[in-house]
Amino acid sequence: MAEKTTTEAPAAAPTEKPPVPQAALPKNGAEKPKTDTQTYPVGIAGVKIEEEERKVPATEAPPLPINEKLAVIGKPTPRVDGRAKVTGAAKYSADINLPGMLFAKLITSTVPHAIIKSIDTSAAEKHPAFRAIHMLDRDRSAAQTEEEKKDNWPRVRYVGQPLGAVCAPTQAHADDIARLVKITYEQKPFVVDPDKAKEPNAPIIFQGNAEQAGTAGGGGGPKDVKQNGNVRGPVAKGEADKAEIAFNSADVTVELDFRTQVQTHCALETHGLVADWKPDMLTVWASTQGTSSVRDELAAVFNLKKSQVRVITEYMGGGFGAKFGAGNYGVLATHLSKKANAPVRLMLDRREEHLCVGNRPSSIQKLKIGAKKDGTLVAMRLQSYGTAGVGTGAGASGPTQNLYTCPAIYTEDSDVFTNAGPSSAFRAPGHPQGAFSLEQGIDSLAEKLKMDPLALRDKIDDSEARREERRIGAERIGWKDRKPAGSDAGPIKRGIGVAQAIWYRIMNRDSHCDVRITQDGSVEFLSGVQDIGTGIRTALAQIVAETLGLKPTDITVKIGDTNYPQGPNSGGSVTTNSISPVARNAAWAAREQFLGQVAPALGVSADELEMADGRVFPKNNPNQSLTFKQAAKKMKVEQVAARGDRSDDYESKKGPRGKGAGGLGGVQFCQVAVDTSTGHIKVEKVVAVHDCGRPINPMGVKSQVNGGVIQGISYALFENRILDRNTGVMVNTNLEQYKIAGSREMPEIDAQLIEQYWGKSSTDAAGIGEPATVATAACVANAVYNAIGVRITQIPMTPAVVLEALASKQKASA
């Protein structure tokens, strides 16, 4: 690995080191970019950067040099909304309290599988505090069949399914009134265990083909998949025959079974919103990852113009994939607001949050890998079943399909319907599950081949980013001192492990913004895009500041409101990739207008002006400068404004799909200590080396990497939705029995970033939220194997699971 660090001198970068950031842009930087050919840095900073030409639309801002040549972008920047957050002033949707606002409470099912025979609301309606009730005609978050769309009431398919809601002047009254609604059920047999649900005589959950809407929490698997009993699938990719033939040519094969559990999102702010229905306008304060997704769904349901629905998300307390669309709660709150003629707040409680607004599906995976003696992969096959409850999309084959070079890959993904809450998108859907199997499989293969796990990955992984990430991580974790598996003496055994991530460079062209500069020197950025906690607000301020030679705190970022230009929804790590080039383009266009306005005052033409360090000055005479504020006063109009749009990704050399240039990487290493007397695993250190194209704010990116790591550790060791198979009831609908990692479970986390440039957009930035959590559980499992010499193929790796694995090893060796 070490010899691979051929580093091109920075001279190879597209520009000489500039005295001020903008001055040294390629020649056309100062001119209107009429030409459609531009030169972009491509490669990994510190390894190799080359210049490549791209044909780009004329409206694009000129190329940026690599981060070390920039003033604001790429510099660690404290979040611009930090003050609001640390003082408690930041107002989340849960904090909205309007005059006359009513509080709503869901009415949820108490049985796991039933047809509703009758609903008696009379007692509820007699309650003095009763204001309105609305019952749903269907479960908007779950899959459903064509046939049942005609029903008056939803089919009940799990305990805790939303059926309706009531509202009252206080939450306590609403809670009381909701309990007064009497529902008569015709109960049907049910099944919550996916192994049982797969059996031919299991109770059938959907009579007929069932589909989950794409807006349902961002979830929903592929459409039009064949269904047999409760099994929906398989969705096959690749050629089964080809893989079987290829396995015959393998020198070595490994076959392993894996199981992963259902994980719930546990965002601290629950799902919910405040809906304020007025005859000409519906205004909604929603805790959402997609302001426009809420607007669109409510407009459709209530037959409104999209211009009549305004959705606001100023601050948002976490979503992790589950918060898209209006949801059952949003539709209910809007109905209640309309009926009661008052604003209605419907925020779920913690129990409802666990039950009815999404989760990461479980998986039961069978993996086979075949390789030549030198490690070259010849075939891989993955068969995966998972339950998304009454939802779809439990596939786990992403990593097997996309991570490594292999000529014959065959995968089958099947959903198993169970009487449990529907899944939704959850931080890298399918990938932590898929990496848990694949990366343990690759480690097993390395052991069988007597190869170092990193050397094997060097052989079979063609991603330049991950190659560099392995090199950096190996050095920082102390890989060379790694001991043979299970070789520690004493009851506490330590081990080191590695696992890799893959995610995709996805973007949404429906991403727009305005940048305005006003005579008083204020600069505004406006877009519907929402900050779900990741820090896009700060990144956008940085990009505008860089372009205008200002500081991030000089920029007022107004986002999270559908009154502003359409922004992208935040899912799939698309946000930065989608909106940051838009911000750059708009800021550049605003800059050109601004300089055109102020140039006469400086007695030069606009293209002779430069902006840096808060000043505007002629390039050839930096001493004759105005502060930005002084310059703004010289504008002949009160305000200049420019619109930014997302062009398609620039054309560039494409590697094989998902491999190398097309995808995002990430390699994680960790050290664990396993107490073999109690079965407790302690993750002591994690080195997480990641790439996200051009990092805009390394501070924000590293914070997201840390967050991905802790969710991964929590997934690997603690979290588990537990359903009582006798009643269908989830027994740990809280944060006491549903464990998420706390401060003392956290290891030392060493987050490292590489800068990788593709020349794909005017910022060349991509996302980090998803890749950061893909590898962690697999990494912990590989480290546990290195510690105790027993491969644990199921999560969560609780003390009981670890002790059982140790015992079975002892039995086997006895």
Partner 1 sequence: MRDFLIIYVNGRRHEVRGRRAFQSLSHFLRYDLGLIGTKVVCAEGDCGSCTVFVGRHEGDKLTYRTVTSCIQFLYQLDCTHIVTIEGLKYDGQLNPVQQAMVKCQGSQCGFCTPGIVVSMCAMFEKKRDVNADDLRGALVGNLCRCTGYDSIVKSGLAVDTTTLRRLDDLYPPDAIVSDLIKTAGESVRVTDQKTFFKAVTIDEAARFRAENPDCMIISGGTDVGVQMNKCLRDPRSILSLAGMQALRGIEVKDDAIVAGANATIAEMEAFTRDVLPEYSRLLYYFGSPPIKNAATIGGNVGNGSPIADSIPAIYAMNGEVELVGTSGSRRVNIHDYYTGYKKTVQKPDELIARVIIPLPKAGETLKLYKISRRKDLDISAFTAAIWMRHRGNSIDDVRIVYGGVAANILRLRQTEDFLRGQAFTLSNLQHAGKIARSEVKPISDVRGSADYRLQLGENILTKFFIDVSGTTSGNGNGWNDGNGNGNGNGHSVDPTLEGIAGEVH
Query: Of 483-512, which residues contact partner 1 (CB under 8 A)?
Result: 489-492
CB closer to partner 1 out of 318 and 358: 318
* Whether 574 contacts 507, CB under 8 Å: yes
CB closer to partner 1 out of 204 and 803: 803
- Binding flag, residue 532, partner 1 (CB under 8 A): yes
Residue 699 Cβ vs partner 1, minimum distance, rounded to whole Å:
5
* Number of chain positions touching partner 1 (CB under 8 A): 85
Alpha-carbon torsion 167, 171, 176, 182, what sign?
positive
Residue 6 Cβ vs partner 1, minimum distance, rounded to whole Å:
33
Residue 534 Cβ vs partner 1, minimum distance, rounded to whole Å:
7
Binders of partner 1 in range 340-359 (CB under 8 A): 349-350
- Binding flag, residue 315, partner 1 (CB under 8 A): yes
Q: What span, in angstroms and rounded, lies between the C-alpha atoms of 560 and 325?
A: 14
Which tokens hold the place of 228?
């047999």
- Binding flag, residue 312, partner 1 (CB under 8 A): no
CB closer to partner 1 out of 101 and 304: 101
Q: Which member of 30, 33, 49, 81 binds partner 1 (CB under 8 A)?
A: 81
CB closer to partner 1 out of 81 and 469: 81
Taking residues 161 to 190 in sequence order and writing x for each that binds partner 1 by CB under 8 A, - otherwise, the string is ----------x---x---x-----------
- Binding flag, residue 281, partner 1 (CB under 8 A): no
Helix pair angle (453-460, 431-449), 10° resolution: 110
Q: Strand pairing partners for 103?
A: 168, 345
Which tokens hold the place of 62?
């000129």
Taking residues 713 to 732 in sequence order and writing x for each that binds partner 1 by CB under 8 A, - otherwise, the string is ----xx---x--------xx
CB closer to partner 1 out of 88 and 279: 88
Q: Which member of 746, 752, 789, 794 binds partner 1 (CB under 8 A)?
A: 746
Q: Which stretch binds partner 1 (CB under 8 A): 201-209, 298-306, 360-368, 734-742?
A: 734-742
* Whether 465 contacts 756, CB under 8 Å: yes
The 8 Å CB, 24+ separation contacts for 167-170 are 167/102, 167/103, 167/104, 167/105, 167/131, 167/132, 167/133, 167/336, 167/340, 167/344, 167/346, 168/102, 168/103, 168/105, 168/127, 168/129, 168/130, 168/131, 169/102, 169/103, 169/129, 169/131, 170/103, 170/129
Which tokens hold the place of 729?
């009831």
- Binding flag, residue 704, partner 1 (CB under 8 A): yes
- Binding flag, residue 87, partner 1 (CB under 8 A): yes
Look at the block and give the residue holding tokens 């069988």: 448
- Calculate Rg over the CA atoms of the chain: 28
Q: Which stretch binds partner 1 (CB under 8 A): 15-23, 292-300, 654-662, 703-711?
A: 703-711
Q: What span, in angstroms and rounded, lies between the C-alpha atoms of 291 and 567?
A: 8
Q: Which member of 620, 744, 812, 813 binds partner 1 (CB under 8 A)?
A: 744
- Binding flag, residue 111, partner 1 (CB under 8 A): no
234: preceding bond cis by omega (within 30 degrees): yes
Q: Which member of 62, 63, 220, 318 binds partner 1 (CB under 8 A)?
A: 318
Give one DSSP letter per residue of 201-229, joined into a string: TSPPS-SS-EE--TTSTT----SS--EET
- Binding flag, residue 316, partner 1 (CB under 8 A): yes
Q: Which member of 26, 46, 50, 92 binds partner 1 (CB under 8 A)?
A: 92
Q: What span, in angstroms and rounded, lies between the C-alpha atoms of 380 and 809?
A: 27
CB closer to partner 1 out of 126 and 654: 126
- Binding flag, residue 534, partner 1 (CB under 8 A): yes
Residue 469 Cβ vs partner 1, minimum distance, rounded to whole Å:
19
Q: What span, in angstroms and rounded, lies between the C-alpha atoms of 292 and 324?
A: 9
Which tokens hold the place of 26?
């390629």
Q: Which stretch binds partner 1 (CB under 8 A): 73-81, 118-126, 333-341, 563-571?
A: 73-81
The neighbour count for residue 609, using CB atoms within 10 Å, is: 24
Q: Which stretch binds partner 1 (CB under 8 A): 20-28, 112-120, 248-256, 738-746?
A: 738-746
- Binding flag, residue 88, partner 1 (CB under 8 A): yes
* Whether 358 contacts 141, CB under 8 Å: yes
Binders of partner 1 in range 33-52 (CB under 8 A): none
Burial of 145 (0-12, 13-18, 19+ CB in 10 A): middle
CB closer to partner 1 out of 208 and 742: 742
- Binding flag, residue 279, partner 1 (CB under 8 A): no
Distances (CA, A) of 623 to 74, 619, 627, 633: 28, 9, 11, 19
Binders of partner 1 in range 547-606 (CB under 8 A): none
Three-state DSSP class for residue 253: strand
* Whether 809 contacts 746, CB under 8 Å: no
Q: Which member of 10, 26, 169, 317 binds partner 1 (CB under 8 A)?
A: 317
- Binding flag, residue 810, partner 1 (CB under 8 A): yes
Residue 656 Cβ vs partner 1, minimum distance, rounded to whole Å:
33
CB closer to partner 1 out of 89 and 240: 89
Residue 419 Cβ vs partner 1, minimum distance, rounded to whole Å:
19
Angle formed at CA 785 by CA 777 and CA 370, multiple of 5 degrees: 85
Q: What span, in angstroms and rounded, lies between the C-alpha atoms of 447 and 452?
A: 7
Residue 490 Cβ vs partner 1, minimum distance, rounded to whole Å:
5
Which tokens hold the place of 386?
């998972």
Q: Which member of 79, 360, 466, 584 binds partner 1 (CB under 8 A)?
A: 79
Binders of partner 1 in range 669-688 (CB under 8 A): 675-680
Q: What span, in angstroms and rounded, lies between the C-alpha atoms of 565 and 418?
A: 41
Q: Which member of 14, 112, 327, 535 binds partner 1 (CB under 8 A)?
A: 535
- Binding flag, residue 799, partner 1 (CB under 8 A): yes
Taking residues 244 to 273 in sequence order and writing x for each that binds partner 1 by CB under 8 A, - otherwise, the string is ----------------------xxxxx---
AA identity, residue 786: N
- Binding flag, residue 119, partner 1 (CB under 8 A): no
